[in-house]
Amino acid sequence: AIPPGSLTDITILGRSMPFGVGGYVWDSAVVMQLLVSIVARERLGINTHEAPGFWTALPGIYAVAGCKDPAGAPDCTGEPSVEHSAVHAILEHPSINLPDRQRFLDNHPKFAPEFMGPVGFTSSEGMYIAQETVQRAMAGGGLDLGAFPHYNASWNAPAQYFNTRVSDIP
C-alpha cells in the first residue's frame, strides 16, 4: 500500500485536486467505483475521492462535465470543482438514457465527456417480477410493471402492488 502522504493529486485546468471516481448506487456499480479508486490509489499513487452515487445516468454525465450540482440543478460551467462532487471518471452502461445523453451533448458540446469504452466484461440486466404481482397491478389500476424500470414511482404508487419491500429481502 502507498502511504496516504505519498499520494499525488491530479491537475485539471491548473487546479490540483483528488481524482474523483463516481458511479451509481446499484451494487455492481459500487464495486466498479471502488475497484477504479483502489487501482488509482494503490497502483498509480493518485489521491482519490469517491463521490456519492447516482440513481440515473444523466447526473453522472453532468458530474463528469464539471457541473456544480449534478443531481439537482446542474450549473455547467466546465470549471473543475472538488467541493461539488468533482467526478472525473464515472462508470455506466453505455446504453443508459441515450436521449438524455444526446440532449446534454446537444446543449453543452464543449463539456461533453468522452466514452472510453467497455471495462472488459459483458453483462446483462433484467427485471423479474412475480406474475401474480404483475396481474394485481394491471387489474388494480392498469399499471404495466413491464415499463417499471423507466417509471417515476411517484406517478401511480406502484409499491401498493408489492407485498415485500426490497429492504426486507435478505
Q: What would the grid cell of residue 68 be?
A: 456544480
Say whether pLDDT at 166 is over 90: no
In a domain, 10, yes or no: yes
In a domain, 125, yes or no: no
Question: What confidence tens digit (pLDDT) does each residue in 4-39 have?
Answer: 899 998 887 778 888 887 777 777 778 878 888 888
Q: How many domains does one find in the chain?
A: 2
Does 98 share its domain with 160?
no
Q: What's the mean pLDDT when you consider all of the chain?
A: 70
At 94, is the secondary structure helix, strand, or coil? coil
Does 12 share its domain with 79?
yes
Does 105 share its domain with 150?
no
Beta bridge partners of 49: 20
In a domain, 120, yes or no: no
In a domain, 159, yes or no: yes
In a domain, 47, yes or no: yes
Does 67 share its domain with 98?
yes
In a domain, 119, yes or no: no
pLDDT of residue 151: 54
Average pLDDT of the residues in 59-64: 72
Average pLDDT of the residues in 143-159: 62
Average pLDDT of the residues in 75-104: 57
Output the pTM of the full model: 0.54
Does 46 share its domain with 79?
yes
pLDDT of residue 7: 94
Are the CB atoms for 101 and 58 separated by under 8 Å? yes
Domain containing 141 equals 131-164
Residue 45's pLDDT band, with cuts at 50, 70 and 90, is very high
Does 18 share its domain with 88?
yes
In a domain, 92, yes or no: yes
C-alpha dihedral sign at 17, 15, 90, 67: positive
In a domain, 122, yes or no: no
Does 71 share its domain with 143?
no
Half-sphere exposure for 135 (CA within 13 Å, toward CB)? 3
pLDDT of residue 87: 46
